[in-house]
């Protein structure tokens, strides 16, 4: 028994907002979990503070599966991003404690290393095709084996994935949601050129990825997948919204471009059909938004028997705690595919000390017990929460569209 004696929520904004849960045990150990839900941070903080933490104190921190079910089944109300993010924060903090109690890095508790390193994909973006390809070449020269390419669309003022900073993309930057404009026709006319130029400059010994960010209908996504086949993408991500999982049957029938989906999913139930019917190749669920390591272990096993690999979300709105948890998971899981990597800002790294490292396009979680990430609470207190929304998107005629 390792009794939980306290649990608290820490909210800070070192470059962007993060919500962190810290759980302490009677034995003098503590664990941390990420509880950040971009643009809805305070909803998760309130869910934790008002509804979860009062039930945690006194429980055995070692009983991770029991606590998980207590919070999932015990709420009666199931799933949803706020609930599943809160559960993930508790789950990851408890795994961190278990690692510290065992004096082992987490990947050892998850079955040990299945590979020497975790292949990550980096991000190249620019408003022009030439600029994106030049940034990608730079990343390739730095040793990255896989690169996601996004570029501006001629005729549109802004586009998903194209940012001021060349290494990462930080879309939550409005005190109220910024309004973007979208035209599928303009996008479809321009995107292929990016991959023509990319293959010409980068060659074929690097994996190329692209995120459609839920902007196409199934038939449009089918066409894009087909058009991009000659450039041998590693994956086309979130080609179409997937609430209706059968949408992907149409896409799958028409293209051999590998498909990745799932950064907005909260549980296995959001991708059961996608996986069971082998409609996708990579599942992108996020540790912090899909119930933590305990739930994703089940999801990954289910995916494994259907030839679906992992390709977890790793944008900057997932704190270094989630990145570390993902790396331990990726290192150990049998059906690992790839891991998204976006550099956090220097302020973020100063608040979250980390043991994970990156070398030649591969990452390792480090050998510190547990997650190998800590939070500097006094530094965190110097960065108070700042409200920040993700943008919304409208078609050129004003119709509200998917962002
Ligand atoms: O909070 C939303 C971002 O995490 C998301 O827009 C980033 O699509 C994304 C990606 O693939 O990293
Ligand atoms: Mg994405």
Instruction: For domain 109-368, give the CATH number.
Output: 3.20.20.120
CA angle 285, 287, 292 (to 5 degrees): 125
Which residue, 315, 363, 307, is CA-closest to 335? 307
Question: Given ligand 1 and candidates 284, 315, 338, which is best to mutate, with the most ligand atoms within 8 Å of its CB?
Answer: 315
> Ligand 1: which atom is nearest the Cα of residue 342?
12
This prediction's pTM: 0.97
The predicted-structure confidence for 76-123, as pLDDT tens digits, reads as follows 999 999 999 999 999 999 999 999 999 999 999 999 999 999 999 999
φ and ψ at residue 345, rounded to 5 degrees: -70, 165
Q: What topology is assigned to 4-105 in CATH? A: Enolase-like; domain 1 (3.30.390)
Q: Mean per-residue pLDDT for 4-31?
A: 98
Largest CA distance in the chain: 62
Query: Which ranges in the chain are annotated with CATH 3.30.390.10?
Result: 4-105
Torsion of CA 236, 241, 246, 247, to 10 degrees: -70
Q: What 8-state DSSP symbol labels residue 356?
A: -
Query: Which ranges in the chain are annotated with CATH 3.20.20.120?
Result: 109-368
Mean pLDDT of the chain: 97
Residue 163: pLDDT band with limits 50, 70, 90: confident
Catalytic residue among 29, 123, 207, 213: 213
Task: Report the separation in Å between the CA atom of 80 and the middle of ligand 2, taken as the mean of its atom positions.
Answer: 19
**Cα gap 112→68, rounded to integer Å:** 23
Note residues around ion ligand 2 (Cβ under 5 angstroms).
211, 263
Q: What percent of the chain shows pLDDT beyond 70?
A: 100
- For residue 159, what pLDDT is reported? 86
- For residue 170, what pLDDT is reported? 84
Residue 166 has pLDDT above 80, yes or no: no
Task: Report the separation in Å between the CA atom of 179 and the middle of ligand 1, taken as the mean of its atom positions.
Answer: 17
Give the tokens for residue 316. Answer: 């900057």
The predicted-structure confidence for 279-308, as pLDDT tens digits, reads as follows 999 999 999 999 999 999 999 999 999 999
């Amino acid at each position: 028994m390792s009794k939980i004696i306290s649990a608290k929520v820490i909210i800070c904004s070192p470059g962007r907002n993060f919500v962190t849960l810290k759980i302490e045990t009677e034995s003098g150990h503590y664990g941390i979990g990420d509880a950040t839900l971009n643009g809805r941070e305070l909803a998760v903080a309130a869910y934790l503070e008002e509804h979860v933490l009062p039930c945690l104190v006194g429980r055995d921190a070692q009983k991770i599966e029991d606590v998980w079910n207590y919070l999932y089944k015990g709420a009666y109300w199931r799933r949803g991003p706020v609930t599943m993010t809160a559960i993930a924060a508790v789950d990851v903090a408890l795994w961190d404690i278990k690692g510290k109690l065992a004096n082992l890095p987490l990947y050892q508790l998850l079955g040990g290393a299945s590979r020497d390193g975790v292949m990550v994909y980096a991000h190249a973006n620019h408003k022009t095709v030439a600029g994106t390809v030049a940034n990608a070449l730079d990343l390739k020269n730095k040793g990255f084996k896989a690169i996601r390419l996004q570029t501006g669309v001629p005729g549109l003022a802004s586009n998903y994935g194209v940012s001021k900073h060349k290494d990462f993309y930080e879309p939550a930057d409005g005190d109220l949601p910024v309004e973007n404009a979208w035209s599928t026709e303009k996008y479809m006319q321009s995107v292929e050129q990016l991959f023509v130029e990319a293959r010409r400059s980068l060659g074929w010994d690097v994996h190329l990825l692209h995120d459609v960010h839920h902007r196409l209908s199934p038939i449009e996504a089918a066409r894009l997948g087909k058009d991009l086949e000659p450039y041998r993408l590693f994956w086309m991500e979130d080609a179409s919204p997937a609430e209706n999982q059968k949408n992907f049957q149409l896409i799958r029938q028409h293209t051999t471009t590998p498909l990745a989906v799932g950064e907005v999913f909260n549980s296995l139930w959001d991708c059961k059909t996608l996986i069971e019917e082998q409609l996708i190749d990579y599942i992108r669920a996020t540790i912090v938004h899909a119930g933590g390591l305990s739930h994703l272990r089940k999801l990954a096993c289910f995916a494994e028997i259907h030839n679906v690999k992992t390709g977890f979300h790793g944008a900057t709105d997932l704190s270094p705690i989630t990145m570390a948890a993902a790396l331990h998971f990726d290192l150990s899981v049998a059906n690992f595919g790839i891991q998204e990597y976006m550099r956090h800002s220097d302020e973020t790294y100063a608040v979250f000390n980390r043991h994970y490292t990156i070398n030649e396009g591969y990452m390792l979680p480090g050998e510190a017990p547990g997650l190998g990430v800590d939070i500097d609470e006094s530094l965190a207190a110097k960065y108070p929460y700042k409200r920040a929304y993700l943008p919304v998107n409208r078609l050129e005629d004003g119709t509200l569209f998917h962002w």
